[in-house]
Amino acid sequence: MYAAEQIRQSQYYEQEKKLIKQKTENEKKRLSTKNRSYVRETCALFLCVIAFLGLNLFLLSRYAEITSVKHQVLQMEKSLEQLRNTKEKLSVEIEKSSKLEWIEGEAVTRLSMKYPDKNQVIYISVDPTKVALIDGELEKTYIEDERNGILPNSIERIFHKFAGVLQI
- Asked whether the predicted pLDDT for residue 114 surpasses 60, the reply is yes
Within 10 A of 68 (CB to CB), how many other CB atoms are there? 10
More confident residue, 139 or 23: 23
Give the mean model confidence (pLDDT) for residues 97-119.
85
Give me the pLDDT at residue 36, please: 55
Give me the pLDDT at residue 138, please: 67
pTM above 0.75, yes or no: no
* Average predicted confidence (pLDDT) for the chain: 80
CA of residue 35 relative to chain centroid, distance: 56
- Asked whether the predicted pLDDT for residue 17 surpasses 60, the reply is yes
Q: What is the pLDDT of residues 157-167, one digit of tens each?
A: 676 677 766 66
- Contact 159/151 with Cβ under 8 angstroms? yes
- Asked whether the predicted pLDDT for residue 61 surpasses 90, the reply is yes
pLDDT grade for 51, boundaries at 50, 70 and 90: very high
Give me the pLDDT at residue 147, please: 55
Tell me how far apart the alpha carbons of residues 98 and 95 are, in angstroms, rounded to a whole number: 5
